[in-house]
Amino acid sequence: MNAKALNLTSVTTAVLVAGRTCMFDRRAKELVMVCERVDALAAELGVPLVVVFCTDLPTSCDNPDPSPCSAIVGLLVAAAAHPEPKPVDAAALETALSRADALRWQEIRGVLGELDGDLDTESHLYLCATGPLAGGVLAYGVPGSADDERHSAQGVLEFCSGKDSEQDWLTEGVWGMKIEYVGDWGYDWSNVERAVRDEGLRQLLPEGAGFHLMAAYD
């Protein structure tokens, strides 16, 4: 999935990106052009480079005025355009930051154009979301239903799920541990990176547990 497709989505999409944050104060149609330039550079470099605007870009395209918008630019690790659990490769998460640091950031900065401030100088592993009512959940555990008594009897486990388009929590999700939840087009990295580094997490939860990404209409 490239940057233009990711941001012009009509559904809420939870995204994991290894990269850097920045702020734009531009018209939405200009942000679409930024997506196109990022996609062209991604093709040239042969890497899954994206920019994720923390907004509902299709709706904003009707607004002729500039508006502030935060964004994350970097390597796409995973994206979930539905509230059901989507497995995320642990190895991809573990190597994401080193791969992001190796990007040609001076060239990336050049295609972003005018920013409100500047591009951050440190890379992090971000959970973010784009689309209508955008939110997302990252969990570690095993897929299951909310009424699964086998899992609910184990005190170390909690049930985590995404939200559907009616903003209701799903009854199908993940039994394990919620790593991070972002809503209202937000983003965060600290809990995500801590979980990726935490080897004890794998020992605490059942065999076969893994990372799962879920969209959440917030």
* Mean pLDDT, the chain, integer: 91
Q: Are residues 153 and 208 in the same domain?
A: yes
Least-confidence region, from 17-31, 79-93, 95-109, 204-218:
204-218
**Amino acid 156: pLDDT:** 61
Q: Are residues 81 and 153 in the same domain?
A: no
Residue 79, domain extent: 3-130
**Token pair 């699964």 in the structure block, residue:** 148
Q: Are residues 20 and 113 in the same domain?
A: yes
Q: Are residues 88 and 21 in the same domain?
A: yes
Mean pLDDT of 105-115: 96
pLDDT, tens digit (0-9, with 9 covering 90-100), for 132-144? 999 999 999 999 9
Q: Are residues 87 and 169 in the same domain?
A: no
- Does 56 or 163 have the greater pLDDT score? 163
Domain closes at, from 88, 112, 130: 130
Contact indicator for 162, 137 with CB cutoff of 8 Å: yes
Tally of structural domains, the chain? 2
Domain closes at, from 79, 100, 130: 130
Whether the predicted pLDDT of 112 surpasses 80: yes
**Percent of the chain's residues with pLDDT above 90:** 71
Contact indicator for 192, 125 with CB cutoff of 8 Å: yes
Q: Say which residues have a Cβ less than 8 Å from residue 45's Cβ, sequence separation at least 6.
A: 103, 104, 107
Whether the predicted pLDDT of 153 surpasses 70: no
The CA distance from 212 to 209, in Å, is 9
User: Residue 150's CB: how many other CB atoms inside 10 A?
Assistant: 10
Q: Are residues 44 and 123 in the same domain?
A: yes
Q: In what order do the strands lie in the sheet with 124-130?
A: 49-53, 67-80, 13-26, 124-130, 187-188
CA proximity to 73, closest of 128, 150, 21: 21
pLDDT, tens digit (0-9, with 9 covering 90-100), for 20-79? 999 999 998 899 999 999 999 999 999 999 999 988 888 777 778 888 899 999 999 999
Torsion of CA 120, 126, 127, 129, to 10 degrees: 30
